[in-house]
Structure 1
Amino acid sequence: MTGLRIERVVTSGEFTLDGGSWQVDNNVWLVGDDEEVLVVDAAHDAEAILRALAGRRVTAIVSTHAHNDHVNAAPRLSELAAREGARPPVMLHPDDLVLWRMTHPDRAPDAELADGQVLTVAGVEVRVLHTPGHAPGAVCLYVPAAGVVFTGDTLFQGGPGATGRSYSDHDTIVDSIRRVLFTLPGDTVVHTGHGPDTTIAAEAAALGTSG
């Protein structure tokens, strides 16, 4: 894990779904080293994210789910971060294509994410965990060597992500959290899609592990 670092870029914009619109601040996560970076959730402002990359090569732009506030800057960032004509791929779980098309009807993701898939950046493994509930194709990204998991909008400080809108389900997200995330080591740091960090142990204690 030598040289690996994790950086947060906060961008602001609108989340829109089901006819509503809300102003939100999003956490964009950069995982990598001095040479290459994996971007988690390219939200709102591709130029701001590009500046934070500081010239490093982007290995992939990974979307934890396809709500507009998590993917609206992804195609533009892929264009801006291209090197020698090669764009970094925008990656998404296929179960979230229905949401993706609401924001990008004329541009598909470049590659699919799958449960158990392993991505690599800066010599470190990033494991894809399918955690539906907030969205059908929601995933979390676990980096065992760093003791961190990027949960998008699946798990926050204070509990599960929202499930009151289309394509979400409360029982499903709670099952995902208990079955997948709560099996990670308790001291795993949870880097969320909005707001502050937490840990698996803190959220397991708050939510409970049964019932």
Structure 2
Amino acid sequence: MNALFADEPLILDDPYMSRMSEAEFFDFCQQHRQWRIERNAQHEILIMAPTFTITGRRNARLLAQLGAWWNEHPEAGEIFNSNAGFTLPNGAVRAPDASWVSAAQWAALTPEQQEKFAAVCPDFVVELRSKTDSLKVLVAKMEEHRQCGALLGWLLSCDDEKAYIFRAGQESYETVEGFERELSGEAVLPGFRLDLRKLR
């Protein structure tokens, strides 16, 4: 069990697991709902530690602010919490802490696709970093989202109050220090502003 609390996820390197079909992987996740599971582009199964209580609190406050914006713009798209898995164009299945999918992308999916790990990259993704999370691993996940089509991404490192902003079309990310500020949803989520002070 201690491996689950390392800086990086536990990788299940069983050869059978790396050959699982999408349907088999979905069934595997349903059979192990007590785990936080993702799959990378190499189809390796990744098991993450349970979220620490303070991180769960911060995630709830993040989603509350995103939800308030969505209540004013429900026609723009759909918001999701950390339980939602998405199948990215590179074959990885990721579950960001918060995300938003535009109405056009969501409507393009069949009801069956919406029921499982929807084959779509969210337009907007957020990851919250806890003390035990590897910054290197999370930056790589954010880069993966950007390469797969995300327009805007925020990696929020609350303990040292740093925000890393990833934008489509940019090769590097912007680093913002200090949480005495708001982050703008820019053109992706017009009018959305996240008060970082509430994530302390």
TM-score when normalising by structure 2: 0.31
TM-score when normalising by structure 1: 0.30
Choose between structure 1 and 2: higher strand proportion.
Answer: 1
